[in-house]
Amino acid sequence: MTTYELNRCVYDFMRAGELGTGEVAPFEAARYDLTDVERRAFEEPDIAALYRMGLHPVLLNGFCRAVGYTRDGYRKLLEPLADAGTGKAPWRH
């Protein structure tokens, strides 16, 4: 995996002003050295997959908001990923 490239791609997407559209399709993700799985998770967007791939939590938060999720909306997507040992959700670590 190319976690750095994934983080850079998401960061650049947010800086490019592609915010609030609910889509990432016009953004050129092909410019980044992403695996097919990473590119697909970015383009769909698959929030849980991006989290599991190690996308930085601050970028994940901003990306979720940029593609149209409310805070409660993406919290619900991440709840199944809560740490079984602590019961804490991913954003509370």
Q: For residue 19, how many other CB atoms are within 10 A of its CB?
A: 14
Is residue 90 scored above 70 in pLDDT? no
| Domains: count for the chain | 1
14, 62 contact by CB (below 8 A): yes
For 7-29, how does the pLDDT look when each residue is reduced to its tens digit (9 = 90+)?
999 999 988 875 555 566 668 88
Q: Which domain holds residue 73?
A: 3-92
Instruction: Using pLDDT thresholds of 50, 70 and 90, give the confidence band for residue 86.
Output: low
69, 79 contact by CB (below 8 A): no
For 44-76, how does the pLDDT look when each residue is reduced to its tens digit (9 = 90+)?
999 999 999 999 999 999 999 988 898 888 888
- What does pTM read for this prediction? 0.78
